[in-house]
Amino acid sequence: MKPVKVGLLGLGTVGGGTLNVLVRNAQEIARRAGREIVVSHAAARDYDPSQLEGLESVEICNDAFDVVANPEVDIVVELIGGYSPAKELVMKAIENGKHVVTANKALIALHGNEIFTAAQKQGVTVAFEAAVAGGIPIIKALREGLSANHINWIAGIINGTGNFILTEMKEKGRDFADVLKEAQELGYAEADPTFDVEGIDAAHKLTILASLAFGIPLQFEKCFTEGISKIEPQDVTYAEEFGYRIKHLGVTRKTEAGVELRVHPTLIPEKRLIANVNGVMNAVLVNGDAVGPTLYYGAGAGSLPTASAVVADVIDVARALTTDPTNRVPHLAFQPGELSDTPVLSMDDVETAYYLRMTVEDKAGVLAAIAGILSEAGISIDAMQQKEPGDADDYVPLVMLTHNVREAAMNTAIAKIEGLAAVRGSVTRIRVEQLS
C-alpha cells in the first residue's frame, strides 16, 4: 500500500515537533496506521534545519497555498495558527478534497461550524485533537471514549500560562505583574499576554469542549470570559484560610435552562485533585452520568506534547482514508443533523457560590448593613472573616463566602455594597465551585 503523504504548514515549535515525531517513530506509526506516513511537502519561511529531522526527503516552499494545491498531498497539517490565512488554507484544502489536521483552537472555535460543513460536503475529515490541552487526548475522550454518557459538566485548567502565574502567587506570595514578567521571560507568555491572562485562549478551548460534550454548535461569542489580572496575593492567602485554592477554570454545565459557558478565576476545595494541578500543566475534569468524574492531566503545550496529539490525528485520518465518510466519527461527536439548539445561558442566569473581599470602615453597624443588603438579594453567608485593622488605618478587609445564588442577584448586591459610605473601593468577587 502506498504511503500517506503529509503536507506540513509551518515548521515552528509544533510543526518541527510533528516532523520529528513522524520521522523518529515512523516504524511504530506504520505498525499502528497499517501503512507508512511520510512528510513529503512543507511550507515555511523561517525554520532551524539543525532542529529538524528527515528534511532531505521533504520538499519545502515559501507558499503554503502551493502545498494545499499539490495533488500528491493526502493530509494537510495546519500549524500556522491565528485566523488568517489559516482559515483560507483550510477551506482551500477541503475544496481540493484533502483531509486536514490542525492545532488551531481559535480557528475551530470561531469558524469550526463553517469548516465542518464544508468538510462534510466534500467527504473529508478535519481533526483537531491538539487544539485543546496540548498532548492530553481530551477530544478523543469526549468524542469516543465517553460517547455512552450524558455529560453533566466539564471543568478545566486549559491554559498553562495562567496556571503557572497562580501557582507562583500561591507558593511564593508573588504579585501578578511580577510573575507575568517571569512567564514572558521563560517563554510561557507572549509579549502581548492578553489571550492567556484574560481568558481568551481558554474560552476558545472551552467552546470546543462544550460543543463536543452537549452536541451544540460552536458559539465562542457567547462564552463569558474573565481573566486573572485582578487577583491579588491576599486573595490567594484568604482562599487558603477557607480551605480553597484559586484556579483559572473553564466551566461548562448543562442545566434545565441551558448550557453554562464561562471562563473565570475560581475557588476550588483544596482536596480536589484538580486544585493540585500546578505550574504550566493542564487538567480537564469531565463528569458523565454513567462514568462519574474522570480527570485528564498532562502537558497542555510544548513542541513534543502537542506534536503527539497532531500525529495521533494524522494516524486516525490515515486509518480512515478508505472508510465511507458517513461512517466516520463525527467532527463534533454528534451526527451533523443531530446538533441541538439548546441555548447558552447569559452569565446573569448562572448560579454559583461566591468569595467576596471588601475593605470596610472598622465601626459598628457596617457588617449589619452589608449583611442586610445580601439578605435582601436572597444571598446567605456561608463563612466570614474580618481581619484586624492596621496601626494607622480605620479600614479592615472583610472576606466572606456565600451560598449559591444567581449572578444577577449578586451583581445587584455588590453595586449596593459599593455604594455604602463605609466601603472603600470596589468589591472583589471570585466564583466558587465545589466540583463534587
Which residues are catalytically annotated? 205
Q: Would you tell me the crossing angle of helices 13-24 and 26-33 to the nearest 10 degrees?
A: 80
Q: C-alpha grid cell for residue 210?
A: 462544550
Neighbouring residues of 375: CB distance < 8 A, sequence distance ≥ 6:
none
Residue 318 has phi, psi (to 5 degrees) of: -60, -40
Q: Which of these, 22, 49, 59, lies nearest to 38 by C-alpha position?
A: 22
Cα 103 to Cα 15: distance, rounded to the nearest angstrom: 10
The three-class DSSP label of residue 171 is: helix
Cα 434 to Cα 419: distance, rounded to the nearest angstrom: 30
Cβ atoms of 355 and 432 within 8 Å: the answer is yes
List beta partners, residue 252.
Answer: 154, 261
Cα 435 to Cα 274: distance, rounded to the nearest angstrom: 9
Length of the chain: 436
* Cα separation values, 295 from 138, 273, 292, 381, 400, Å: 10, 8, 10, 31, 30
The three-class DSSP label of residue 41 is: strand
Considering Cα of 134, then 209, then 79, then 196, what sign does the dihedral take? negative
Q: Which residues of 102-122 are buried (b: 16+ CB within 10 A; e: fewer)?
A: bbbbbbbbbbbbebbebbbeb
Q: Which of these, 79, 11, 20, lies nearest to 45 by C-alpha position?
A: 11
